[in-house]
């Protein structure tokens, strides 16, 4: 999906800087990192991004994403 | 409502046959965890919500070993020390899983991992208002248990001893009082060290027991998981059977008549 002429925007994912092409969806971001959007939950600037909207919601420059999943615990 | 049959119990409209809930932390690996779960017969596992590993997204995941379609994942807020952290965690959990049944745990301090009941009560109310069905880890206080129920807790989960301590049920009187006063299921959450502890919890009339460390840190976790399954069943059956009264002195089992 990335082309040479794409304008890249910088965001943070779990406090780490990350770049995606402008116009990327949140679902694209997940896959770009190597994650299945169906298996995670995404928060953007402390607001939940509903799973049903991941394929449409656009990533914006400066967004702070928190991406979590289920792990072992008591 | 609390079920009084041996073979099932119901929480927030969901019925389960196993009265044992097991954690998924502290295991050597996912395979051992899955094997212990199988041996325990549990239908619910607690899970934590944590950041994905962005640098290694292909690392094995819990869901690869324990199928959330077959086993009910109960997202837990272990590690949260404020109501806000816990609520944020459960909102994410609901999004990750898609269900409302959750376990709320708001801790007061690292040393004892005792719950902060003020924050716990506050968070229970907020979560219930948002449509969550919170099963709530709490102190063994019968009045606090009633307050939680009024606030919308779908299950009361008092500790039997500090989390991970394995000290066994240290508070039989207060656990029994909570059971007697509750209109929602009561499950001992924390403190179980071995099978007899689980049986005691069930003999007190609890609807279930939640444990993690007692299985995960056993020398043979899979074998201990099986022991816990049997103990929970035995304890429940003994509770329903009704134990004999206690006597101060001996009472012979063989008839005195006809002695030679």
| Those residues with Cβ within 8 angstroms of residue B245's Cβ, 6 or more apart along the chain or in another chain | none
Chain segment B212-230, per-residue pLDDT in tens = 999 999 999 999 999 999 9
B233 pLDDT exceeds 70?
yes
Shortest CA distance to B184 belongs to which of B133, B120, B248? B133
| Cα dihedral B213, B137, B13, A48 sign | negative
Q: What is the pLDDT of residue A68?
A: 92
Residue A40 near chain B (CB below 8 Å): yes
A5 pLDDT exceeds 80?
no
| Residue of chain A whose Cα is closest to the Cα of B96 | A41
Residues of B in contact with A40 (CB under 8 A): 52, 96
Domain count, chain A: 1
Give a yes or no: residue A2 inside a domain.
Answer: no
Q: What is the pLDDT of residue B1?
A: 43
Question: B139-162: string of b/e by CB count within 10 Å (b at 16+)?
Answer: bbbbebbbbbbebbbbbbbbbbbe
Q: What is the mean pLDDT of the segment spanning B33-39? A: 96
Q: What is the pLDDT of residue B197?
A: 98
Chain segment A12-43, per-residue pLDDT in tens = 999 999 999 999 999 999 999 998 898 899 99
Domain assignment of residue A51, given as a range: 8-69
Quick one: pLDDT band at residue B84, thresholds 50, 70, 90? very high
Quick one: pLDDT band at residue A4, thresholds 50, 70, 90? low
d(C-alpha B18, C-alpha B44), whole Å: 8
Give a yes or no: residue A41 inside a domain.
Answer: yes
Residue A51 near chain B (CB below 8 Å): yes
Q: What is the mean pLDDT of the segment spanning A46-62? A: 94
Residues of B in contact with A68 (CB under 8 A): 49-52, 92, 96
For residue A22, give the CATH number of its domain.
3.10.20.30
pTM of the model: 0.90
Give a yes or no: residue A25 inside a domain.
Answer: yes
Give a yes or no: residue A27 inside a domain.
Answer: yes
CB contact under 8 A, A70 and B97: yes
Give a yes or no: residue A45 inside a domain.
Answer: yes
Q: What is the mean pLDDT of the segment spanning B66-78? A: 93
Length of chain B: 260
Give a yes or no: residue A74 inside a domain.
Answer: no
Is ipTM > 0.95 here? no
Q: What is the pLDDT of residue B82?
A: 96
How deeply is A21 buried, as exposed, middle or buried, from its count of CB atoms within 10 A (0-12, 13-18, 19+)? middle
Q: What is the pLDDT of residue B187?
A: 98
Q: How many Cβ pairs within 8 Å bridge chains A and B?
A: 102
| Residue of chain A whose Cα is closest to the Cα of B215 | A74
């Amino acid at each position: 999906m990335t082309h040479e002429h794409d304008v890249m925007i910088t965001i943070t994912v779990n406090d780490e800087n990350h770049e995606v092409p402008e116009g990327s969806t949140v679902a694209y971001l997940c896959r770009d990192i190597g994650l299945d959007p169906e298996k995670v939950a995404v928060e953007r600037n402390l607001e939940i991004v509903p799973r049903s909207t991941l394929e449409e919601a656009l990533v914006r420059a400066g967004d702070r994403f928190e991406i979590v999943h289920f792990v072992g615990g008591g | 409502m609390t079920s009084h049959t041996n073979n099932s119990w119901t929480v927030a409209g969901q019925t389960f046959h196993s009265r044992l809930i097991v954690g998924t932390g502290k295991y050597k690996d996912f395979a051992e965890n899955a094997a212990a779960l199988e041996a325990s017969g549990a239908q619910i596992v607690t899970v934590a919500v944590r950041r994905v590993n962005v640098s290694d997204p292909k690392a094995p995941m819990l869901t690869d070993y324990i199928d959330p379609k077959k086993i009910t994942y109960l997202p837990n807020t272990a590690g949260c020390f404020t109501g806000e952290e816990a609520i944020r965690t459960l909102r994410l959990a609901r999004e990750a899983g898609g269900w409302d049944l959750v376990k709320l745990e708001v801790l007061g301090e690292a040393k004892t991992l005792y719950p902060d009941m003020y924050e716990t009560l506050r968070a229970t109310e907020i979560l219930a208002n948002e449509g969550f069905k919170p099963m709530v880890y709490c102190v063994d206080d019968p009045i606090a248990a009633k307050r939680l129920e009024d606030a919308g807790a779908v299950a009361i989960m008092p500790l039997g001893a500090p989390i991970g301590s394995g000290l066994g049920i240290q508070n039989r009187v207060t656990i029994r009082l909570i059971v007697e006063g509750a209109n929602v299921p009561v499950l001992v959450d924390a403190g179980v060290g071995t099978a007899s502890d689980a049986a005691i919890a069930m003999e007190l009339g609890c609807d279930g027991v939640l444990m993690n460390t007692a299985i995960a840190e056993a020398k043979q976790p899979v074998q201990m998981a099986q022991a816990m399954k049997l103990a929970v069943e035995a304890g429940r059956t003994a509770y329903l059977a009704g134990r004999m009264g206690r006597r101060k002195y001996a009472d012979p089992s063989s008839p005195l008549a006809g002695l030679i």
